[in-house]
Structure 1
């Protein structure tokens, strides 16, 4: 979910040096969230034929002991945050404990010069303690949301979402949502086609919109004749049509009420919200890969009017279709 208050700023990926992403390691590091950052951004990916990230680990101390007993060392200290384009805080050891002043100051300085900040799970509390989320929309793991609301009343906490992108700060919910936020970063930087390839390599859903629920009560149904997954596939092949809930339910062989309940349980969102996001993701792909007129893209993606297409595209992506296309045209050129 991108804040309506401030448009998300897309980093300049046309720069000569590779985009530098750093993951912050600290005493008491949560290894799962740290591993997500290293897995997604740290691998060399020559098969993508694109300028991939320069990934580094920054240790707040000389040696950082992680949960589980292993240790991390790195040649990069906190001063290296000043050279980073994106900084990831993969969780925080204790949401009630303010991070050391040197960590807070380094993040504040990086943010002031325009670095993008990303938090996974409880890592949002590091930004909160530093005052970086005051007046912004943000989220964290559902377990910690009440504490964030009570302790940091200036933050516009967002419940029941996977991640929030407000200006140059991205905050995400639990561990699986960290993958969604990371794919969102890649989509902003490299486009939907590259993000989808990374998602497939992770065996992860390519498009879980930030506004989807943190509380997915059941996996997508796979029983023959009642498969929500098959309906999703069918809908993606028919996005140019004005699909309705009743039509989707009939395709699944369910009543409207049963379908809505199964859809919410399996995806964490409503059919109409899911369709809106899928239409925008299809439009992103067409804007990246073709020179089709926006009116034709709007028609192919099932928007009734070009003005509606522009408005919904901005709501989901944080930018206009024209700005989105210009960005990838400049990169490819």
Structure 2
């Protein structure tokens, strides 16, 4: 069933995912709220350790039993966070599908590609063996695998990295999901294949009306692919808005730092900018803003008082006590350089 565009298909409300003991939990995702509409691509951006992948895994409940998920994950009027494992299995793959970061570790090297697609179809559809084979060929053709029928009996190692990623997308699309979770699907690929995969995801979202959450650390990928952007740091949202707003008018010092890290007309042998320091440990997050230790404009209140995600314009939200100072700081350094 195709969901009308502009209809919200997923809404996270105060999502919290923690690990370890209840007395001293390690909070990987902390009070994250956003929604995704049918046919929309939402980019989830941040450095490694920001909580992006754990957010996707929390939606599907695959952080259990080691992880504990709180808040609400609203999907078709149901709260996925409250469902047991048996109920979640009916949602995974059928209604919400996921593409993992490294296809070679996600595909079974001992099974042919055709069999792996067929397994998904057997689990989530009522097709018989002959219909499953026909559907598998259609899926491989949809994602651009040449001579698809002849490749059904091939094993994952017989495909290139880009083709393996296309196979993963075909498996994810087997049951016509309404939401696709893509966890850095182009990280291990060269730029030409990366562009092809991103264009494929865009066309599938547009043609099928499928919502997509795309996890990446590359702001260039976001600018090319996404309709809206959520910037994460330390397991928290620090900026949320349309791609035009976040790329063209970022306000949070972390988002501004990520954008400044993209090389633009840099002379040879010129040192590239990078955000100083490293992401905080989950065991050492400050009570205030998680970016305080690396922020060039942090004030006394930043480490003690957590900033709310506040509106700075229509559909644009930022969690920062010192937005004006951050914007002035980066504009000054851009003018100097």
- Do both share a fold (TM > 0.5)? no
Relative CO higher for 1 or 2, CA cutoff 8 Å, sep ≥ 6?
A: 2
Higher helix share: 1
Q: Which has the higher strand share?
A: 2
TM-score (norm 2): 0.28
